[in-house]
């Protein structure tokens, strides 16, 4: 593990040179290639533990939305091929892993009940990957739990195993409110440029709020922004998103993804 020493000090002292797609300064310690391996190994574990939806119509529908969105995505993390898997699970959830791995649960489609709403979620998940949110969380966790000694003690193979140890990546290392908000903004841009109606992103979160029945904790007590906060942030960015959407439609980008 001595090979990690140069990497550690390089990233520790020049971390302020790393920026997210929105221009936010990031703390990044780990090479993208290492994160991509970790994400791929964790994803394989999740696929072994969770039933996979085999209905061709459902899979084609989700992939139609995903690949239309990916055409409008800029990625510099070294992802060579994206993979999206639909899991047969009633949870209203989706997740993303480094390396271009996206998981969508069938339960999500009860609320994200049209292509535009689901595009908002998928764009959001793509954004987590392209903005290196997973790398930030692992880097921050390594520092808070002992810095270099943690990396030396666990190794990348062990870390990869931890990512998929019976739970999704988001459960083990949940994204922060900052990451969630940034993913919403980037995801809104992706979906609108792909020709999906960005206004449906607001409808999505209104539906999420209604489905929660007021049972969520206040935003200050949660790692996620409140539904009201997300809705307001999306509405604030909507004028530019509508410009993107209209330009996309004029350019002939009219996704027609159906089950």
Please give the positions annotated as active site.
125
Q: Dig out the tokens for 243 from the structure.
A: 């410009």
* Element of type H or E holding 105: strand 101-105
- How much of the chain is in helix, strand and coil states, percent to nearest 5? 60, 5, 30
Classify the phi-psi angles of 46: left when phi > 0, otherwise alpha if psi is within -120 to 50, otherwise beta. Answer: alpha
d(CA 127, CA 118): 14
Sheet hosting strand 101-105, strand order edge to edge: 83-87, 101-105, 94-97
- The C-alpha angle 173, 107, 119, rounded to 5 degrees, equals 75
**What are 21's strand-pairing partners?**
none
The per-residue DSSP string of 41-60 comes to HHHHHHHHHSPBP--HHHHH
* Element of type H or E holding 218: none
């Amino acid at each position: 593990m001595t090979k990690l020493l140069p990497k550690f000090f390089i990233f520790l002292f020049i971390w302020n040179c790393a920026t997210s797609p929105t221009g936010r300064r990031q703390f990044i310690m780990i090479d993208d290639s290492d994160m991509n391996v970790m994400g791929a190994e964790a994803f394989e574990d999740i696929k072994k533990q969770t039933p996979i939806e085999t209905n061709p119509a459902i899979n084609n529908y989700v992939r139609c939305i995903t690949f239309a969105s990916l055409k409008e995505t800029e990625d510099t993390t070294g992802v060579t091929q994206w993979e999206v898997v639909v899991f047969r699970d009633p949870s209203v959830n989706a997740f993303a892993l480094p390396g271009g791995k996206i998981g969508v649960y069938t339960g999500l489609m009860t609320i994200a009940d049209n292509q535009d709403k689901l595009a908002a979620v998928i764009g959001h998940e793509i954004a987590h990957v392209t903005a290196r949110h997973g790398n930030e969380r692992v880097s921050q966790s390594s520092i808070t739990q002992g810095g270099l000694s943690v990396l030396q003690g666990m190794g990348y193979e062990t870390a990869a195993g931890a990512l998929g140890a019976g739970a999704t990546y988001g459960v083990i290392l949940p994204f922060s409110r900052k990451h969630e908000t940034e993913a919403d903004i980037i995801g809104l841009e992706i979906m609108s440029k792909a020709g999906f109606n960005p206004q449906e992103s607001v409808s999505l979160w209104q539906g999420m709020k209604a489905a929660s029945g007021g049972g969520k904790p206040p935003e200050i007590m949660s790692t996620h922004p409140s539904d009201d906060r997300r809705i307001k942030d999306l509405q604030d960015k909507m004028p530019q998103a509508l410009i993107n959407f209209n330009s996309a439609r004029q350019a002939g980008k009219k996704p027609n993804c159906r089950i």
